[in-house]
Chain A
Amino acid sequence: MSSAEVTLFDDEFLKKLEYLNIMSKRLFTGQMRAKRRTKKRGTGLEFADYRSYVSGDDFRHLDWKAYLRLNRLILKLFEEEQDLPIYFFVDSSQSMNFGRPAKLDYARRVAAALCYIGLANLDRVNIISFADGVKDELPPQKGKGRIFKIFRFLSDAAPSGKTNSKASFRAYCTKARRRGLAVVVSDFLDHEGFESGLDVLRHFRHDIFVIHIASHEEIDPQLTGELQLVDSESNVAREITVTPSLIAAYKAEFARYCESIENYCLKYQLGYVRTTTDFPFEELVLNVFRQGRFLK
C-alpha cells in the first residue's frame, strides 16, 4: 500500500465506510431489496406479473390455480435479478490538484466510499480516471473484498492533463458498455464545456449522477494586487490587476457556472450534488444516498 493510499484510506476511513454501508441499508430498508433488479423479466424468484400463455412458453410457469378459477392459461412472470454496472468517472486532470485539501483527494475519498457501497451491494463497479481522455480504468469489480484494489487504483490516479470530458466519456462509452449508473466526480472546469461530456453519457442512456467538487479558494479567491495568473492545466499566464470589482465579477461568474451545471442536471433529471473540499465527505455521501439514485 502506497503512502498516499495509507493517508487517504486509513483505518478511520474504513470505519467511516462501514458506517456509510449501515446507513445506506437503514435509509432504504422497507422500500426494496438491497440488491438491484432490472426491468427485464427472467428466471428470478421474485414474482413480477401475469400474461396469457402463448405457444412455446415454459409450462413450468403456468399458474394452474388461475386456470381452475378463470379457465384460461395464464403464465406467471418473474423478475430476473441482474447486477447493475456503476461507472465512476473520476476527474484526475491537473485542475483537480488544487485546493486544500486537493479536489482530487476529496474525489478519491468520495469515489472510494461510493465504490464500497456498490461493492457491498454486489454491483459491478467500474472506475475510470480521466482528464483529456481515459487515463486509466479498473475492470469491473464485485464484492467488498475488492475494495483494496479500488483504493490502490484511486491512489495511483495522479493529477495531470487538461480536462476534456467529452473526449473522455466518448472514448469510454463507445466500447459497447452496458447501460448503468454513471457517477461523474469532477470540478467541471472543462474548456470544451461540461454539457458536451454529460451529453455523451446521456446519449448512451446511462443513469447519471453528478458530484461537483469545488475548492474554497475557487469560490472565494483571496487575491490582491498586480498578479500573473497561471492556469495549472495549460500553464497559460495572464496578468491582471485584482480589484474588488474584479473579484466580485469572478465570484458571480463562478456562481453562475455552478448554477448552469445544476440547471443542466435538473433539466435532464440527473442527480447533482455540489460540495467543497472542506465539507466532510461522509456527509456528502449521505446526501448522495438521500437523492435516491445511487441505491435502488
Chain B
Amino acid sequence: MRFMALTQLQALLLAAVTAGTVIGLYFLKVRHRRVFISSSMLWQRVLDEHVKHSLRERLRRIISIALAVVIALLIAMSLGRPQIEWLTGRTQRIAIVLDTSPSMNAKTADGTTRWQHAVARARDLIDGAGPAAELRIADTSGETAFPFTTDRTEARSNLDMLSPEGTEPQFPMLDMRNSTVYLISDGVGLRDVPDSARRISVFEPAENVAITAFEVRPVPVNPLGYEAWLEVHNYGKAANVKLTITGSAKDNITRDLRLRANDAFKELLDLSGFQGGTVTARIETSNDALAADNVAFAYLPIKRRTKTLLVTRGNNYLETLLKVNRYVDLQSTTPDKYRESPDIDAYVFDRFAPPTAPPKPAFVVGAAAVNWLRTPQGEVRKPSITTWADNHPLMQYVPVHDISIERAAKIDASNLTVIAASNDTPLIVASEKPRWVMLTFDLNSSDFALQTGFPVFVENVLAWFNREQLAVRRPPGEIEIPLANAEVRTADGKAVASSTQLGSTVFHTNEPGLYIATAGDARLPIAVNLTNPDLSNINRSALKENTAPVRTTSWLHNELWVYMVLAALILISVEWFTYHRRITL
C-alpha cells in the first residue's frame, strides 16, 4: 500500500496514534449511572451465570474495540489517500496536452477532423487510467491548463471545453518530473516539445490551399492609391484555385490559378480602383481540408489630403518633410503670427505651444510650459529609449531603439499614453482627448529627424490625427488593440465581447474577419487572418508517435479512500445497530 498524501512513516504514525487514541478512549472509565435496587441477590446469580459465559463477553469486548479501531483507522488512513496497485491500478499523474492549433481543424479521410481524433485519443487515455490516476487537461493555446483531478467526469468535461484556436501552438509549462505528459497533436507548427513528453499523433495527410499573406499598403508613387500583397500556397497535390478579391462596392479581382504541389502564387495587386472599406481575399478549390486559411481580410482607408499648419521659428527637417508629403497641404507661420484657423486639419508646433489648446489635433515637438500640455519638471540628459509601444498606430514601421537624444524634458505622463520612454522620463506621449502627440525632446538635440523612421512617424501622427488607418493585422486568438475601453464589432456590426487591460482592449476570436474597434472619436480596423505558412502547411508534421494509450486494469473505479470512507460508514451503522441492541459495547 502506498499513500499519495503521506509518507510511509507519516502513515504509520497516523495509524498508531489513531489506534492508540481509540483504544485509550475505549478503556477510559465512563462513569456508570448509579441505580439502586432492592437486593443484588438475584442479580448476583445472573451475573455469576454470565461470567460462566465470559468467553462470549470477552468476544463482545474484543469485537467492539476492534470495530472502533477499524472505523477510526479507515477514516484516518483515507486522509492519506492510500493506493493498492492491484485494486486501484497504478498511481500516476497524467497530463494530457491537446494541440489546439488551427491545423487541428483539418478534415481527415473519415470525414471527421484531426481535433475529433485527438479528443477520442484523449478519452482513451482518461478511460484507460486507473482510478488512482490524477488527470490534468491542458492545451497549446497557453491559456488553458486545468488542475489535476481524479474525477473522470470532470476530466472529460474539461476536455469538452477545449477547441482549436487560431493561435500558434506552444507547449504549456507543466511540471514534467512528477507526471506523465501525453501530447496529442498533428505536429504542425508545434515546436519545443519536451523529450519526456509522450507523443500521440493524429496526423493524416490532407489537401490544403491557403492564403498565406494578404497585406494592403499604400502605393509609394501614388499617395492616394493602395496595393495588396497576396500569397497563395498549395500544400497538397496540384489543384485548380479560383481567387477572388472583393471590395466594399462591386470592386473585385478574380484569378483562376493552377497550382502544382507545393507551388505558390505571389502577386502584388493594385487596389487603386477600390473604394474604401473591407477587402476580402478568398480562394476556392476542391477537396480542401482546412477552411480557416481560405479567406483573408484587409481594410482600405479612405484617403484625403490633410491641411496642416506648421508653427516654427525655422526647422528645415519638418518643413521639408511636410512639404514633400503628398497627403499634406502645408501652411507655415511663426509663433508670433500664430492664429487659430477653422480650415486647418492639424497643427504642428515646433518648440512652441499656444497658451490654449488648438481646436484640431496637434503635434508638439519639444516640451512647453502651457496648461493643456504637461509642464516640464526638469531635464534628463542623454536619455535612451528603453520601452516603446510596438502595437500603437504611431509606431507602425518606426524603429526607435537606436535614436540618440541629447536631452529631454521630464514630465508627468499620468493619464497619457506613453509611446516611447527612457527609464527617467517619457519621450513620446500621446493624448486621446484632446488629441495631441508630444516629443519631450527637441529635434535639434536628437538624431530622430535623421532616422529613416522619422518620416513614417510623422505620417503616422498625421494619419492618427485625421485619417483612417490601415487595419492592424492580428492572428486569431487573444487580440490586444491599443485603444482603451474600445467597443469591438465585426464588419457587419455584431458586437464582440471585449475587456480593457492595462490601457488596451482585449478580445478573443477564432474566426478570421475584419473587426472595428471604436473608442470615442477613435476608430481602428483590425484584420484577423490566419495567413501563417507554418500553420497552413498541414502536411508538415514533425511529430513522431512514440507511445500508445495504456489501459490500466483495476478492480475499483474510484480512489481507495472513497471505499474506505464508505466502509467506515457501513461499520458505523453496524456498530450503532449492534450497540443499541447491546450486541456490542
Contacts and interface: CB of A to CB of B under 8 A. Distances in A.
Interface stretch (A52-60, A80-88, A249-257, A283-291): A249-257
A225 interface: yes
Interface in B24-38: 30, 32-38
A229 B37 contact: yes
B34 A237 contact: yes
A223 B35 contact: yes
B65 to A, nearest CB: 14
A223 B47 CA distance: 15
A153 interface: no
A158 interface: no
Contact of B37 (A96, A191, A232, A253): A232
B38 A189 contact: yes
A227 B33 contact: yes
A21 to B, nearest CB: 32
Contacts of A95: 38-39
A218 B40 CA distance: 11
Contacts of B34: 227-228, 230, 237
A232 B36 contact: yes
A239 interface: yes
A4 interface: no
Contacts of B37: 98, 218, 221, 229-232
Given A227-B32, A249-B49, A250-B43, A99 B38 contact: yes
A236 B39 CA distance: 10
Interface in A204-236: 215, 217-218, 221, 223, 225-234, 236
A229 B46 contact: no
Contact of B50 (A189, A244, A249): A249
A27 to B, nearest CB: 33
Contacts of B30: 226
Contacts of A237: 34
Contacts of A244: 581-582
B45 interface: yes
A249 B46 contact: yes
Contacts of B33: 225-228
Given A99-B38, A238-B40, A253 B32 contact: no
Contacts of A189: 38-39, 41-42
A96 B36 CA distance: 13
Q: Main secondary structure on chain A at its contact with chain B?
A: mixed
Contact of B42 (A163, A226, A254): A254
A242 interface: yes
Size category of the B interface is: 20 to 34
A242 B582 CA distance: 7
Contacts, number: 87
Interface in A237-269: 237-246, 249-250, 253-254, 257
A189 B40 CA distance: 9
A190 B45 CA distance: 13
A190 B41 CA distance: 8
B585 interface: yes
A215 B32 CA distance: 24
A35 to B, nearest CB: 39
Given A239-B32, A243-B582, A231 B47 contact: no
A133 to B, nearest CB: 18
Given A228-B34, A244-B581, A244-B582, A233 B39 contact: yes
B150 to A, nearest CB: 43
Contacts of A240: 43, 47
Contacts of B46: 246, 249-250, 253
Given A227-B32, A250-B46, A241 B38 contact: no
A225 B46 CA distance: 17
Contacts of B36: 98, 230, 232
A230 to B, nearest CB: 5
B40 A236 contact: yes
A187 interface: yes
Most buried by A among B33, B41, B45, B582: B41
Interface in B12-68: 30, 32-47, 49-50
B273 to A, nearest CB: 103
Contacts of A230: 34-37
Nearest to A235: B36
A187 B42 CA distance: 12
A230 B41 CA distance: 11
Interface in A171-198: 187, 189-191
A273 to B, nearest CB: 19
Contacts of A229: 35, 37, 40, 43
A228 B35 contact: yes
B31 to A, nearest CB: 8
Contacts of A103: 38
Contacts of B583: 243
A227 B35 CA distance: 7
Interface string A103-128: 10000000000000000000000000
B38 A218 contact: yes
Indicate the member of B33, B34, B40, B45 with the most A CB atoms within 10 Å: B40
A234 B41 CA distance: 10
Contacts of B49: 249, 253
B56 to A, nearest CB: 10
A99 B45 CA distance: 21
B42 A257 contact: yes
Interface string B132-144: 0000000000000
B39 A232 contact: yes
Nearest to A193: B41
Nearest to B583: A243
Contact of A241 (B41, B43, B582): B582
B35 A253 contact: no
B32 A226 contact: yes
Contacts of A234: 40
Interface centre among A103, A232, A249 (most CB of B within 10 A): A249
B585 A232 contact: no
A249 B485 CA distance: 88
Contacts of B585: 241
A250 B45 CA distance: 9
B32 A228 contact: yes
Contacts of B42: 189, 250, 253-254, 257
Contacts of B32: 226-228, 239
7 contacts: A99-B38, A191-B41, A217-B38, A226-B30, A232-B38, A245-B582, A253-B49
Given A187-B38, A229-B37, 19 more contacts: A95-B38, A98-B36, A98-B37, A99-B38, A163-B39, A191-B41, A217-B38, A225-B33, A226-B33, A227-B33, A229-B43, A230-B37, A234-B40, A238-B47, A241-B582, A242-B582, A244-B581, A246-B47, A246-B50
Interface of A: 95-96, 98-99, 103, 163, 187, 189-191, 215, 217-218, 221, 223, 225-234, 236-246, 249-250, 253-254, 257
User: 3 closest pairs, A vs B, by CB?
Assistant: A243-B582, A98-B38, A189-B39
